[in-house]
Amino acid sequence: MLIGRKQAHSALEANGMWNIRKVCRAIRDVAWPIPTTLTCEHQDTDQTIETAAQVHTYTAMGIGSAETGRHVAVVVPYYDGSAASTTLTSATIGGVSATIINQTLSDVSGQTHGVAFIIAQLDTGTTADVVLTFSTTTVARVLASTYKLMELVSTTAADSDSSGNVNPLVALSVAVTHNSVILAGGYNTNGDLFTWDSPMIEDADVDLSGNDHGSAAHSPIQLVADTISVSISHGATVWHHHGCIVLA
């Protein structure tokens, strides 16, 4: 037996299916955005070893292939053996003024152990000069490690953590989100090589003076919101400072 449209609609409603049908039609008609996927790749490392200065320039550092929307981040562990509370005051990457995303430090006996994170958008070029300006003229040991990021939504850190102490094992903790990455750096005085536990991937570990080491690391892209432990060890009871940030 044939039934009319009105009867059919009444039958659907009676069976609790009409609302479901309307919802399905609404979903079909929505122009859903295609989700983007963040990428982060380590590119290059340079350093200053026992050369005290206020401005440190690293020429033609690798920043990856040129792409529209490319961001270049630099992890900067540093040490000032002659002054306390020394900070990174400004920076440029490829001549572009960089945002200082985050910086933390520890003062010990009138000396500064610090880590800074900077970023700028550079759509062109495969290398760039990185220029770091500090608040004193006595910063003598610096590490600069570059990263290429694509599909980055914000240059503001979603979370961060830092620690300065003499324990040979340090565990930082940050909250990650879907489509995010952790960048981390550290400096130790008269210590051993750094060991970054999973999920961190070590990208640089450089002897900056005798046994002093600067190090940088990043995580794989995080796809699930979670709290991540960033654990670092360097096998010696010496003063050190570590920091990490989350970008998404």
pLDDT given at position 20: 52
The pLDDT tens digits for 26-64 are 444 444 444 569 999 999 999 999 999 999 999 999 999
Residue 208 has pLDDT above 80, yes or no: yes
The mean per-residue pLDDT over the stretch 124-139 comes to 98
pLDDT band at 238 (very low <50, low <70, confident <90, very high): confident
pLDDT band at 99 (very low <50, low <70, confident <90, very high): very high
The mean per-residue pLDDT over the stretch 15-33 comes to 47
CB 216 within 8 A of CB 45: yes
- What is d(CA 89, CA 114) in angstroms, rounded to the nearest whole number? 13
The pLDDT tens digits for 136-188 are 999 999 999 999 999 999 999 999 999 998 888 889 999 999 999 999 999 98
- What is d(CA 185, CA 219) in angstroms, rounded to the nearest whole number? 12
What pTM, to 2 d.p., does this model score?
0.85
Lowest-confidence range among 8-17, 102-111, 168-177? 8-17
Between 19 and 89, the higher pLDDT residue: 89
**CB within 8 Å of 133: residues ≥ 6 apart:** 54, 55, 88, 89, 90, 91
Residue 11 has pLDDT above 50, yes or no: no
- What is d(CA 129, CA 94) in angstroms, rounded to the nearest whole number? 5
pLDDT given at position 168: 80
High-pLDDT (> 90) share of the chain, %:
74
